[in-house]
Structure 1
Amino acid sequence: MWTLDELLDRVSAALTAEYSGAPNGRVRDVPDRRAVRWYATTGLVDRPSAMRGRTALYEKRHLLQLVAVKRLQSEGRTLAEIQAELAGATDTTLAAIARVPDGLLDSGDPPPRSEVRPRFWAEPVATPAPAPQAKAAPLNGVALGGGAVLLVPGAPTAADCADIAAAARPLLDLLAARGLLTNEREPS
């Protein structure tokens, strides 16, 4: 069994072979979710085989019906003509019209059983233990020039500041070239 989206993926894959699309451009080449629901309402396609909660589930026959409808539409037939032709059609008849590759007809694993969702809103809220507070060292700014300031923990000496400024020269050149330093920018 497949969900509607899974079914439409299979329909699309089935129609990639030997399918020229609708001849007049007034009909979609591949049905969308709304069209499938309408086809089921009008009896052109069987209603979903089962429901999982609010999710409709479809089977091999639905795939055959949808592909057959699209193949017949590509021949220029109206939905009324298609409905008359496919009314009461067996899976064998649908398979002959639809020509769906065998790999797409495999339903795969059965759908998982509906599991009862946990009632998360009814359970007490767990309060996390407070994280231990790390002692943060005070930050000090080292002026690099052009308005750039490097924040470092601790208290750098004058020699540290000079070495940091020298090491930052390539970065300052890049910032200046891109106009990102205050004294290098055009006034706005």
Structure 2
Amino acid sequence: MTIEELCQATAHELARRGLATPQPDGRVTDAPDERTVRYYQTLGLLPRPSVLGRKSCYAAVHVQRLLAIKALQRQGWSLAKIQQWLVGRTDEELHALIDRVSESVRSEGQSLPTTVWREVTLLPGLKLLAATDWSPPVEATAALEALFRAALATLRTAHPGSPGGRMHEPANE
């Protein structure tokens, strides 16, 4: 199928499974367009199409992979985390994921709850994440400063790979 047909087939399948709902922050679309497909290929999220002559040919595996990406995005996963998760996944694992998320949507009769995060870069290599619906209580300024100091102390002393150093994977939302 052409890239246009791939986008149409994916949009149809997302709608059929109840997964075609845009995210509240507007950064994630309900169905991928041609530009998104090419971007996902660049990131390695989607395999390159086969080429016949001068035409790119997409297959069912591309639709399945796009459905899995959209299902994970629906659960609040970042593209970087999705990229890591997709490595080495079998067709059966992708089918199971898509079915599980689709069933959750159907059983709830609505969108899966997701947390949308704001990201603030404090310094190169240091980011702060906050849920979009969170705002700091004015009276908690001193408590927040104490938490930041404790976090900085932990970052200074606990390096990945060193004794006491830990790395945490973000929890699925």
Q: Does 1:4 pair with 2:3? A: yes
Partner of 2:163: none
Q: Which amino acid in 1 is paired with 2:63? A: L
- Alignment partners' CA distance in 1, 2:43 and 2:54: 21
* SS in structure 2 at match of 1:51: strand
Percent identical among aligned pairs is 41
Partner of 2:33: 32
Q: Which residues of 2 match residues 26-175 of structure 1 at below 5 A? A: 26-48=27-49, 50-99=50-99
Bigger-Rg structure (1/2): 1
List structure 1 runs of 4+ shifted beyond 2 angstroms: 20-24
Q: Which amino acid in 2 is paired with 1:18? A: G
TM-score by length of 1: 0.49
* SS in structure 2 at match of 1:44: coil
CA deviation vs aligned residue, 1:104-153 (integer Å, no higher than 9, x gap)? xxxxxxxxxxxxxxxxxxxxxxxxxxxxxxxxxxxxxxxxxxxxxxxxxx
Q: CA deviation at 1:23?
A: 3.9
Q: CA deviation at 1:74?
A: 1.2
Q: Does 1:22 pair with 2:23? A: yes
TM-score by length of 2: 0.53
The structure that is helix-richer by fraction is 2
Unaligned 5+ runs, structure 2: 103-173
Q: Which amino acid in 2 is paired with 1:82? A: I
Q: How many pairs are equivalent? A: 99
Q: Alpha carbon RMSD of aligned pairs, Å?
A: 2.0
- Alignment partners' CA distance in 2, 1:83 and 1:76: 14
- Alignment partners' CA distance in 1, 2:92 and 2:26: 30
CA deviation vs aligned residue, 1:4-62 (integer Å, no higher than 9, x gap)? 111111100111022233242211111110111111121111111x2123221111111
* SS in structure 2 at match of 1:15: helix
Unaligned 5+ runs, structure 1: 102-188
